[in-house]
Structure 1
């Protein structure tokens, strides 16, 4: 069949184009964009007008089955969920009634064409093939047998697209385990999508059923709205870049043509609030522009000095397409999370270098953190804080001892003693201390290093005065640090993977508030020996890698992709192979 071959070729080739009809529908949507639901309803009305033209007058249509005209088990459209779905329907047509596509079909097609609003790519849901099949049906209205064959293929396409979209909106499109990182995932939300689709069809509630699969968090709604607003800006081409690298920093009282472009850019991003054309065309860098630059720097986690230097320029020169992609992958990461993180929990956002502690879903404290450098990156974990250690010792990992400390020991025989380290034989709990002066260090290499190094408790201990333990396979925990000067820096990825906290005493007091009083905590700190306090109430710890979000003041925040996870995720999210191909490659679930 002509249509069968066309669709087969499309699914294999997967070219990255949307048909004119799809683009027209999106344009109509943009022109009337107020809210997501209103937009989709507009699309549905338009689509219904088109689909009403697709019909075949046939009194025995209801007696036909898709398997009469299409063999599922041999179909390139077939997958296990599609087969289960049609088994539930006894292989009846799902999206046709009296030979005509239903309102359910209208709602689904309009939703797929509007999938950009969720940060998706419409072609991943075979919208082009669906549109082509509809056009083909319009041409076959008088050819009953061929009409039914194309209708069967279209019915299966619609079912498969619904199940694919529903899975993506509920649990995310990307598979985080394919990012090549230590990224622990939460259990997928439990949805029997086959049953869910069957119920939605019976209720004639397709569009609503897909909306209800979205994450039920304020952050998702806010970020999705920000994405749509930015998308419209990209269509209007109102995102001028400063465009070229500058040879020196630009700051207040400077005057140049670059300042005009800078004003235009910051007005487009919303950081500069004035729309006065005379002001915008002036090449003078005044205090108003300084404040706008500071606001931009605040939204991007940069040092807020009001000077356009290298780092600020670098962020300003990110294209609007990159920012849309960045928001898209962060929307997807929100889909990986449960709707409820718990009553009391710690939240660490790695690219933001921040920690927040919540009790009864109220923010109790917020502080800066230092996370792992790129080669020792902090993994994205979900864990449970179990106990605290006051005046901890530090068991130096063998990798640090051999790679970083061994050269220093060889260069300075007093290095270990000066820094309060002890050298032990083969075990961290060994009682056999070794005098470093008795070791022939010239013969010791990384390969034959058999010792263990432990740093005693004290104010200069690398873990500071408190560590917060959440047992895990990566040996990652929270801790104090003697290097407090690092917390004042804008970018804080300096550790070996563990998380250094800016206000450890405040965090400990909040965690132990119902358990021991502050005087008891001070007594523990005053001692010289390690003391362990087990938490009566364990606290969940959620580590995130969010590089785009909307804050409580409504500011769209971005952060640098310090571990290149965004770069990998964007590539996966935008791929347009069929879902079956991606599942086979392990990229999707």
Structure 2
């Protein structure tokens, strides 16, 4: 039988160790004292699978085993799981050594691990992709998954089973396509591009033109029409640089400054890692685009979908490095007009009280009242507090900023009740929206054109904001939504738009 290995033909010498597995004692081609059995995550389950399969080898189709290895390679390239990286390393060692018995056992174990990883990524991805690496054993796959595994082994359709545990969304597939193209077409690192001074305009001398063009080709910018021998910065090259800048969220001014040069010199391995980790992250993002609000932190952008159509896009300001906007899912339940702002304790202690100590008029200028407690609305006179000797962490009161144009929340709050008190809102600091990098807030998301967003939200709910006749002096006017809208705050530093991959700075250093 061509589809089954012969034990005599495949026999290899497996060195014994002092360690002995309690499993595989009666499977003739397995050495219970071999090193591979000590590497298994699911030894008992693996043994049961082989006994169910008549003690026959499983991975005789090299295309299927290569398919499994590739899925592990993407996880490895994304630096997501040291455990799965070790399994991949051992699989490739056994493959290259033609130690097919050991390879078969480990591949089956790795398949089980991959299935469990795929099943749990939706719920555990926040931990694996943003907090700590997956370096511990996983529970076995679900009963449904194991039944599918047994059936796939019996029908010799493991490739299809791998496909069912791999995302089929366009977001994932586009990133994997870019990963494969980069890995296959640029397998060698290029020399870094250097220039003596910032290139500002056409006609500037360009001494490293070939290196620059090679760097542009890495991200599939067509430079075939650009003359390789011209020794200065010309219009055709400037057009290519502007395209490159747009791909990386930079101002498309054609000027090769430090930020553009940094992205130009991003290594192939770094780009592959970005593509891989962001491809894996798509396992946890929402697939439906019916009615939903998406905020992507690294792109500093928000998008509102209604009935399957993108109806509003906006720049946003997100949390600074010290006060990150969290990856999370919540629901928008109401729009609040002319909101007051109950100052969070951390901001009060770390930001406001030090400013009050430096400027006794700060609270008056910012229209902030001191309130006796959360259960009381009694206003405390700031002059009654000895600010010079005050320990901010022992401050017994709370603070509330009154509504108005200078309120930190602006004129609109998009209420999303959650334990972390993260919500979307307007802002008086409109100038921040013009900056390339917009990580300035204390965690909440500031929305550009919040008035247009509020009007559209309410319009889609059958409410005409212009007909509400809300008084400018009326604070905290809450307008409930008839149907709550899911809000997903995601973190994606690479994604595809059409045929172009977009890259953004890893503002919170989650990719590493």
- TM-fit CA distance, 1:468: 1.0
* Alignment match of 1:337 (pick from 255, 276, 285): 285
Give the whole-Å Cα distance in 2 for the aligned partners of 1:76 and 1:116: 20
* Alignment match of 2:67 (pick from 108, 111, 119): 111
**Aligned match of 1:283:** 231
* Alignment match of 2:346 (pick from 383, 387, 399): 399
Matched, 1:131 2:79: no
Gap change, CA 1:430 and 1:301, over 3 Å in 2: same
CA RMSD of aligned residues (A): 3.3
**Aligned match of 2:491:** 545
TM-score by length of 2: 0.84
* Alignment match of 2:112 (pick from 153, 163, 176): 163
Preserved contact between residue 424 and residue 453 of structure 1 (Cα < 8 Å): yes
- TM-fit CA distance, 1:535: 1.5
Which region of structure 1 is more displaced relative to structure 2, 286-295 or 405-414? 405-414
- TM-fit CA distance, 1:481: 0.3
Preserved contact between residue 125 and residue 284 of structure 2 (Cα < 8 Å): no
**Aligned match of 2:247:** 299
Give the whole-Å Cα distance in 1 for the aligned partners of 2:442 and 2:430: 16
- TM-fit CA distance, 1:327: 0.7
**Aligned match of 1:193:** 145
Give the whole-Å Cα distance in 2 for the aligned partners of 1:57 and 1:269: 47
**Aligned match of 2:136:** none
Matched, 1:76 2:33: no
SS at match of 1:550: strand
- TM-fit CA distance, 1:110: 2.8
Gap change, CA 1:400 and 1:207, over 3 Å in 2: same
Gap change, CA 1:182 and 1:434, over 3 Å in 2: farther
**Any idea what the Cα deviations from partners look like across 1:462-512, whole Å, max 9, x if unmatched?**
100111111112111000001111111111000001000012222222322
**Aligned match of 2:500:** 555
**Aligned match of 2:443:** 497
Gap change, CA 1:411 and 1:521, over 3 Å in 2: farther
The structure with more helix, counted as a fraction of residues? 1
- TM-fit CA distance, 1:526: 3.7
- TM-fit CA distance, 1:108: 3.1
* Alignment match of 1:361 (pick from 291, 308, 332): 308
**Aligned match of 1:207:** 159
SS at match of 1:222: helix
* Alignment match of 1:254 (pick from 200, 204, 210): 204
Give the whole-Å Cα distance in 1 for the aligned partners of 2:324 and 2:354: 23
- TM-fit CA distance, 1:513: 2.0
Preserved contact between residue 396 and residue 452 of structure 1 (Cα < 8 Å): yes
Give runs of aligned pairs for residues 441-456 of structure 1, distance below 5 A.
441-456=387-402
Give the whole-Å Cα distance in 2 for the aligned partners of 1:514 and 1:256: 53
Gap change, CA 1:118 and 1:407, over 3 Å in 2: closer
Matched, 1:347 2:294: yes
Give the whole-Å Cα distance in 2 for the aligned partners of 1:269 and 1:154: 36
Preserved contact between residue 344 and residue 361 of structure 1 (Cα < 8 Å): yes
**Aligned match of 2:213:** 263
Unaligned runs of 5+ in 1: 1-47, 59-64, 138-150, 568-589
**Aligned match of 1:439:** 385
Gap change, CA 1:522 and 1:169, over 3 Å in 2: same
Gap change, CA 1:510 and 1:522, over 3 Å in 2: same
**Any idea what the Cα deviations from partners look like across 1:524-560, whole Å, max 9, x if unmatched?**
3745321112211011111111001111x31111000
Preserved contact between residue 260 and residue 282 of structure 1 (Cα < 8 Å): no
Gap change, CA 1:215 and 1:131, over 3 Å in 2: same
Gap change, CA 1:256 and 1:245, over 3 Å in 2: closer
- TM-fit CA distance, 1:264: 3.3
- TM-fit CA distance, 1:394: 0.6
Give the whole-Å Cα distance in 2 for the aligned partners of 1:478 and 1:71: 60
**Any idea what the Cα deviations from partners look like across 1:424-450, whole Å, max 9, x if unmatched?**
1233x5221122233332222313322
Give the whole-Å Cα distance in 1 for the aligned partners of 2:390 and 2:196: 50
Unaligned runs of 5+ in 2: 11-22, 78-84, 134-139
- TM-fit CA distance, 1:180: 6.3
- TM-fit CA distance, 1:214: 1.2
**Any idea what the Cα deviations from partners look like across 1:239-275, whole Å, max 9, x if unmatched?**
6454336443444220120344323322443334334
Task: Count the aligned residue pairs.
Answer: 481
**Aligned match of 1:566:** 511
SS at match of 2:109: helix
Give runs of aligned pairs for residues 149-160 of structure 1, distance below 5 A.
151=101, 153=102, 155-160=104-109
Give runs of aligned pairs for residues 93-112 of structure 1, distance below 5 A.
93=54, 95-96=56-57, 103=60, 105-112=61-68
SS at match of 2:377: coil
- TM-fit CA distance, 1:324: 0.3
